[in-house]
């Protein structure tokens, strides 16, 4: 069975928290404490989400993070991309070649599974969280 990384799981929890605190700047310290997530790891996730255009930050005394405008239109696939989690499901679909590729009957199946997986992730919008 496929598993979702803690990075993706925690980012969804963080996004949900920010979206329910609309208009408020939430610090990593606040979020980590209230969500019971590791502070440093959440900080790294926030940097990725900011780079991916999902959240924005404000510096200073009343600073923190909040969702960007129209964040609801972003997809779960966009989230995966911003976190660097849009990797190939199996080695032969990625950058590396497989020694069994010439006799492999599974590559086309994995391509089909991966394509449908990514299409579904693109359909699910963050606003559904």
The reply to whether 101 falls in a domain is: yes
- Grouped pLDDT means (10 residues each) for the chain, 129 residues: 86 96 94 97 97 94 93 93 82 72 81 90 92
Cα angle 77, 110, 48 (rounded to 5 degrees) comes to: 25
Q: How many domains are there within the chain?
A: 1
Q: What is the pLDDT of residues 88-97, one digit of tens each?
A: 777 777 766 7
Measure the CA–CA gap between 127 and 89, rounded to whole angstroms: 26
The reply to whether 26 falls in a domain is: yes
**Domain that residue 93 falls in:** 6-128
Q: What is the pLDDT of residues 59-79, one digit of tens each?
A: 988 899 999 999 999 999 999
The reply to whether 1 falls in a domain is: no
User: Helix count (H) and strand count (E) of the chain?
Assistant: 5, 2
pTM of the model: 0.85
CATH of the domain at 44: 1.10.10.10
Measure the CA–CA gap between 82 and 21, rounded to whole angstroms: 22
């Amino acid at each position: 069975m496929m598993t979702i990384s803690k990075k993706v799981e925690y980012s969804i929890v963080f996004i949900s928290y920010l979206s329910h605190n609309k208009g408020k700047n939430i610090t990593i310290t606040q979020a980590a404490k209230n969500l019971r997530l590791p502070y440093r790891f959440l900080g790294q996730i926030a940097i990725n989400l900011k780079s991916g255009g999902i959240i924005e930050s404000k510096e200073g005394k009343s600073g923190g993070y909040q969702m960007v405008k129209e964040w609801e239109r972003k997809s779960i696939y966009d989230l995966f991309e911003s976190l660097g989690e849009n990797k190939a499901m199996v080695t032969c679909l990625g950058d590396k070649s497989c020694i069994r590729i010439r006799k492999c009957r599974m590559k086309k199946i994995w391509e089909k599974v991966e394509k449908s997986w990514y299409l579904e992730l693109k359909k699910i919008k963050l606003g559904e969280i």
